């Protein structure tokens, strides 16, 4: 059953000036996967290899049975990506148009797209904003819109790269609650917020491009905090 499995075998990612991932091997089946580590540790690179935004220089990646390097289009249908800054993610000028954008290559009839968009906006409490210009939304609403636009594509995996970084406490709770508790999809959550990581089923820790620790979130986070406190 390769349906909800993420597999990395000896994956390295090298850029012109530095190596971002070194020899990462891991097999993940849990629903909620937290990824922690200091800045520049390789977390974001790891996230971006999952939908082929970054291609591995070495090694094999399988995401729900798909090789992101060989089938980038398929993997992007399967993997929804949430960026930390919703401004960079929203493409169309109004809320409903942006959600509909996610369905544009599916060959669906106009009426069905409209119905599905309306239903999704209702789900996310954005129905009143359907025809509003996106720049009039609050940051929390923008991130909700980004999430709504990703989930309407019915991905099997949602990768969220610090999705609460730009949000206040109340909006962070809202977005995190949705990702961690309400959503049925598999989740890879890159975060600096260790309380969110603690609510996942497994935590991965990256340091210097290596997968340096993994397992039950509690102990992984405890060791991470210990290392952080040392000079």
Partner 1 sequence: MISLYRPGTSLLHRMPAGPKLVVVAGLATAISLLPANPLLLAAVLVAVAGCYLLAGTGIAEAGRQLWRLRWVLLVVSLSQVFFLPVLAVAANVIRVGAVVLVANLITLTTRTDRLIDALERALRPLRKLGVNSDRVALMLSMTITTIPVIAGFAARIREAQRARGVTVSPFAAVVPLLVMALKHADDLADALVARGAD
Q: Does the protein bind partner 1 through residue 53 (CB under 8 A)?
A: yes
Q: Does the protein bind partner 1 through residue 73 (CB under 8 A)?
A: yes
Question: For partner 1, which residue of 51, 171, 172, 191 counts as binding (CB under 8 A)?
Answer: 51
Q: In what order do the strands lie in the sheet with 6-14?
A: 19-28, 6-14, 58-63
DSSP count for the chain of H helices, then E strands? 9, 9
Please calculate the CA angle 172-178-184 and round it to the nearest 5 degrees.
150
| CB contact at 8 A, 77 and 102 | no
Residues in the chain: 231
Among 110-118, 149-157, 177-185, 198-206, the segment contacting partner 1 (CB under 8 A): 149-157
Among 29-37, 94-102, 109-117, 175-183, the segment contacting partner 1 (CB under 8 A): 94-102
Smallest distance, partner 1 to C-beta of residue 89, A: 5
Among 119-127, 130-138, 164-172, 202-210, the segment contacting partner 1 (CB under 8 A): 130-138
Question: For partner 1, which residue of 58, 60, 87, 227 counts as binding (CB under 8 A)?
Answer: 87
Question: For partner 1, which residue of 135, 181, 184, 228 counts as binding (CB under 8 A)?
Answer: 135
Residue by residue, DSSP assigns 66-102 as B-TTT-HHHHHHHEEEE-S-HHHH--SSBHHHHHHHT
Q: Does the protein bind partner 1 through residue 175 (CB under 8 A)?
A: no
């Amino acid at each position: 059953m390769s349906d909800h499995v993420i597999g990395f075998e000896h994956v390295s990612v090298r850029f012109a000036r530095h190596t971002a991932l070194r020899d990462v091997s891991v097999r993940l089946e849990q629903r909620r996967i937290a990824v922690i580590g200091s800045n520049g540790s390789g977390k974001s690179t790891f996230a971006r290899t999952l939908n082929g935004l970054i291609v591995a220089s070495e090694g094999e990646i399988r995401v729900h049975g798909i090789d992101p390097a060989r089938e980038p289009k398929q993997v992007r249908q399967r993997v929804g990506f949430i960026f930390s800054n919703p401004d960079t993610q929203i493409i169309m000028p109004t809320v409903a148009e942006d959600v509909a954008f996610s369905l544009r290559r599916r060959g669906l009839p106009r009426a069905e797209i409209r119905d599905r968009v309306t239903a999704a906006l209702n789900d996310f409490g954005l129905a009143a904003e359907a025809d509003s210009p996106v720049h009039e939304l609050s940051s929390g609403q923008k991130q909700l819109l980004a999430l709504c636009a990703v989930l309407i594509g019915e991905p099997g995996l949602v990768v969220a790269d610090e999705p609460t970084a730009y949000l206040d406490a109340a909006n962070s709770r809202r977005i995190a609650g949705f990702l961690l508790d309400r959503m049925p999809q598999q989740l890879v959550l890159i975060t600096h917020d260790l309380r969110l990581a603690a609510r996942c089923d497994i935590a991965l820790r990256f340091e210097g491009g290596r997968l340096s620790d993994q397992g039950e979130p509690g102990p992984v986070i405890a060791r991470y905090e210990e290392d952080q406190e040392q000079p």
